[in-house]
Amino acid sequence: MTRRVVVTGMGCLSPIGSDWEEVSKNLREGRSGVSVRPKLAEIDGMETSLAACLDDFKVPSYYSRKSVRSMGRVSLLATRATEIALLDAQLGGSPLLGDGRMGISYGSSSGSPSAMQIYSKCLTDGTVRGIRPTHYIQFMSHTVPANLSQFFGVRGRIITTCSACTSGSQGIGFGFEAIQSGRQDVMICGGAEEFHEANVAVFDVLFATSTKNDAPRETPSPFDENRDGLVVGEGAATLILEELEHAKARGASIYAEVLAFATNGDGKHITNPDSDGMRRVMEVALAEGDLQCEKIDYVNAHGTATEAGDIAESLAMHGLFGNRMPTSSLKSFLGHTLGACGAIEAWITIEMMREGWLAPTLNLEVVDPRCGELDYIRDGVRESATEIVMSNNFAFGGINTSLIFNRWED
């Protein structure tokens, strides 16, 4: 018998807040986390000066130097989000952390770019002076789940999801599968990303960034015919997933049930999005959850505000759901938080479902006619009692993910 999986704890650090009260207020009031970053303007050839950052993040004073010396900013963000989630799930300091039945499934686009920059001294400056052994631990691809395991003493399976913009959603999905199959009872799942100029440059050289440098509150604008690109962000989010009977036995509060997860590859192009692959991953998720299209009440779109991505995703959704599907992109508020986006957006989607409302796509004024006809949510929050919601993410390399969550009734 397939085991049911529920969400029993959540923690997040996002460009628009780190607790649900603050985040929901900003979503309702149409306030984004995008701002001008003067340092970007100082880089020769960089067209954008925009990003969505966590300027007020501070490492908690009770984190010992020894416990964080192997962490770059990306791991520190993930650690704090995970600490919040574990406390929320009433698992802080629990013996479950070390009994082998709790694992970690977590990712980021890469290790800490700041640590990579230090290591490059051996090439740029011709010296290894100033490079510490821990810098490698900070930038290795599995730095986040490895550091989480050490910090919290987790001894179950460790799954690394280093898959760019699907890192966070794969983190949740693979954790779900580990519990569903009976291999673990509890999983720490999510994704994280730290801001670094190199991450912005990746998209800037592809002419994919927004250059509305004089109007940071007017961008990004997913699905809008006048959009001009994405804005890079940072953050982290952790979901504690747990087998249903295990959660009930310890009296845990439940946020939602994870009904299905799917991931696939386009197998066509390394950077160009493919509408067929996007549609196929949603179809597989529906099949895994034994659901018909009509059961989905809302789709949280990947919605990057790039021309090719928006069009491909919209056509995929329209081809599957027709024009009835309510949809919006949270990246219009958060920027594109890369490896963290799937986890942050899942967290917000679950909270909106619990409270019965849906955030709009900020800055969406005129829908691009090349996008499929969908029920694009704009002009403010929509009150809506949703029961089953889908959250999708798509990454370079043609990697696609789809998560489906069910409203939980006590």
CA distances in angstroms from 316 to 165, 227, 278, 312, listed in the order given: 18, 20, 6, 6
Quote the tokens at residue 188: 């720490």
Asked if residue 77 lies in contact with residue 236, where contact means CB atoms within 8 angstroms, the answer is yes
Place of tokens 């890469």: 110
Round to whole Å and give the CA distance between 46 and 29.
Answer: 31
Burial per residue of 318-339, b for 16 or more beta-carbon CB atoms within 10 angstroms, e otherwise: bebbeeebbbbbbbbbbbbbbb
- What size, in residues, is the chain? 410
DSSP per-residue string spanning 156-217: S-EEE---GGGHHHHHHHHHHHHHHTTS-SEEEEEEEE---HHHHHHHHTTT-B---TT-GG
Q: Are 99 and 155 in contact (CB under 8 A)?
A: yes
Catalytic residues: 165, 302, 336
Q: What is the 3-state secondary structure (H, E, C) of 293-335?
A: HHHCCEEECCCCCCHHHHHHHHHHHHHHHHHHCEEECCHHHHC
Kindly list the distances between the CA atom of residue 397 and the CA atoms of 10, 165, 199, 267, 384, in Å, as whole numbers in the listed order. Answer: 29, 10, 16, 8, 35
Locate tokens 């999983």: which residue? 187
Q: Say how far residue 304 (Cα) sits from the centre of its chain.
A: 12
Q: Which of 262, 256, 380, 378 minimizes the C-alpha distance to 320?
A: 262
Task: Answer yes or no: are the C-beta atoms of 8 and 247 closer than 8 Å.
Answer: yes
CA–CA dist 199, 339 (Å, integer): 11
Q: Which token pair is 191?
A: 């994704």
Rounded Cα gap, residues 347 and 403, in angstroms: 12
Find the radius of gyration of the CA atoms of the chain: 20
Q: How many helices (H) and strands (E) does the chain have?
A: 15, 15
